[in-house]
Amino acid sequence: MTRPADTLLITLTGKDRPGVTSAILGALAQAGVSVIDLEQILLRRRLVLGVLVTAPHDVKRLRRAVEGVAGDLGMTVEIEQGSGDNKARRDGRSHVTVIGSPLKASAMAAIAGRIADLGGNIDRIERMARYPVTAIELDVSGADPLALRGQLAREAADLSVDVAVQPATLLRHGVRLIVMDVDSTLIQGEVIEMLAAHAGPEVATEVAAVTESAMRGELDFETSLRARVRLLAGLDAAVIDKVYGEIVVNPGARTLVRTLGRLGYRFAIVSGGFSQITNRLAADLGIHFSRANTLEIVDGRLTGELVGDVVDRAGKAQALREFAARAGVAAAATVAIGDGANDLDMLEAAGLGIAYNARPVVREAADTSVNVPYLDTIMYLLGISREAIEAADAEDGIVTPAPPI
C-alpha cells in the first residue's frame, strides 16, 4: 500500500511584483495548511518562491486554488507531493566566499566542480556584493572544511579569484577582534621608506631594497629593521609630521572600521613600523589598540636607534593574544590581516588569517587571501553584504556613490 503524501512543495516562478508572496500564502491559509519551510530569491526581477507545507485532506482543491492564483499573477507553478521535511544538512558545513573582478562563469563552474569532487553539496547561494567587486557566498555541506580550503585555495590561484572557506559556526555571528598590519595593509606604502625619502635618494634606495627582502622572508626582521633605522640617523624629527600628512589609507579601511564598529567589533593595529605614526593613525581611525616600534629622538633628531623591544614576527602574534584578552575575545574569534613574512605568526595565531595583497609565501600560509585593493572586502568574508553596509551608512547620512549600471 502506498503511503499518502504528507507534504507539498510549491514552486512559483515569474516576474516579481508586490503581493506575490501574500497572494500565495493567502491561498494556502484558506486550505488550513502549516508552513514547514519557505525560501525566496530574486534575480533581475525574476522571482522564484518555494513553499513547503503540510498536505491538506483535499490536495486537488489546493492545487486548483494555487494554480488559479499563479494564473492571475501571470506566473508558473509546480506542485510536488512527497513525505517529510527537508533533509538536515550533512556534517562539514562551511561558508565559501568567492570574490572576483570580474567573476567569470568559468571560475564559478570550476569552484562548484571542486566542491562536488570533495562530496560537498551547495545548499544556498547569495550575492554579497556586485561593485566594485563581485562577491558570492555559498553555504556548503558534506565536505571537510580543511580539505575544502586547501582544494579551493589551489583552484583560486589558477583562476585569479579569491576564495575563503570558513567553518559554519556561531563565531561568525559574535563580536570579533580585527588585528591589522599597517604598512601596505592598512595604508599604502611603507612608512620607513617614506621617512628614507627625506634622507636622500641613496638612503631611500637602500632602505627600499632591504624592506622588500625582509617582507619576502629572506632576512631576519629585527636585524633588517635596525639596519634600516640606522640609515635614518640625524634626520630631523619634524619629518615624521610630514610623513604622517602624506599617508594614504587603503580604500575601504574607514568603511571597514566604521561598519564593524557599529556591531561592537574591536580593532587593533600591530606594526613593525613606528609608534609615532601608528598611535596617531589609531586615534584618527577609532582603533582601540596599537603596538609598534618607537624611534629614539634626541634633541629633535632621530638617533638611528629604537627604544625598547622590537615588534617582530613573534611580537605581532603576542600582541594579538594580549589584545584579545583585553577585549574579552576568544583567540578563535580573532581576524588577522597582513601582507608580509613578519605577519605569518600573527596570521597563524588568529582564528582567521587573511593575506591581503600579500607576498606568495604569505598567501600560501594564510587561511585565505584577498587580492583586490579594497580593505572593506573583508566584510564579505564575515557575511556582511554591500547592501547592508550602504544602508547603515545611509542612516548616518553617509552617501555612497552609485555603482555603474
Chain segment 125-151, per-residue pLDDT in tens: 999 999 899 999 999 999 999 899 989
Catalytic residue, chosen from 37, 117, 181, 339, is 181
Tell me how far apart the alpha carbons of residues 289 and 283 are, in angstroms, rounded to a whole number: 9
With CA atoms as reference, report the closest residue to 136 among 168, 171, 161.
161
Q: Which segments of the chain belong to CATH 3.40.50.1000?
A: 178-188+247-394
pLDDT of 94 strictly over 90: yes
Peptide bond into 102 cis (omega under 30): yes
Q: How confident is the model at residue 2 (pLDDT cuts 50, 70, 90)?
A: very low
Q: How confident is the model at residue 82 (pLDDT cuts 50, 70, 90)?
A: confident
Catalytic residue, chosen from 85, 144, 183, 345, is 183
* pLDDT at site 89: 56
Lowest-confidence region among 22-36, 81-95, 287-301, 329-343:
81-95
Cα–Cα distance list, 15 to 68, 96, 98, 125 (Å): 16, 29, 28, 20
Q: How confident is the model at residue 96 (pLDDT cuts 50, 70, 90)?
A: very high
| pTM score of the predicted model | 0.84
Cell of 132: 566594485
* pLDDT at site 1: 38
The answer to whether 129 and 139 are in contact (CB under 8 A) is no
Which CATH number does the domain 7-82 belong to among 3.40.50.10470, 3.30.70.260, 3.40.47.10, 3.40.50.720? 3.30.70.260
**Average pLDDT value for residue range 319-329:** 97
The backbone torsions φ and ψ at residue 92, rounded to the nearest 5 degrees and listed phi first, read 75, 50
**Average pLDDT value for residue range 266-280:** 97
Q: Given strand 121-129, what is the order of strands in its sheet?
A: 121-129, 134-141, 94-100, 162-167
Superfamily of domain covering 94-168? ACT domain (3.30.70.260)
Cell of 186: 592598512
Chain segment 198-213, per-residue pLDDT in tens: 999 999 999 988 888 8
Question: Residues with Cβ < 8 Å from 263, sequence gap 6 or more?
Answer: 175
Tell me how far apart the alpha carbons of residues 303 and 49 are, in angstroms, rounded to a whole number: 69
- Active site annotation includes 139: no
- Active site annotation includes 183: yes
Q: Which segments of the chain belong to CATH 3.30.70.260?
A: 7-82, 94-168
User: Which string of DSSP letters, residue by residue, matches 64-105?
Assistant: HHHHHHHHHHT-EEEEEEE-SSPPPPPS--EEEEEEESS--H
Superfamily of domain covering 178-188+247-394? HAD superfamily/HAD-like (3.40.50.1000)
* pLDDT at site 175: 80
Q: How confident is the model at residue 3 (pLDDT cuts 50, 70, 90)?
A: very low
* pLDDT at site 258: 96
**Average pLDDT value for residue range 204-231:** 87
Q: What is the mean pLDDT of the chain?
A: 91
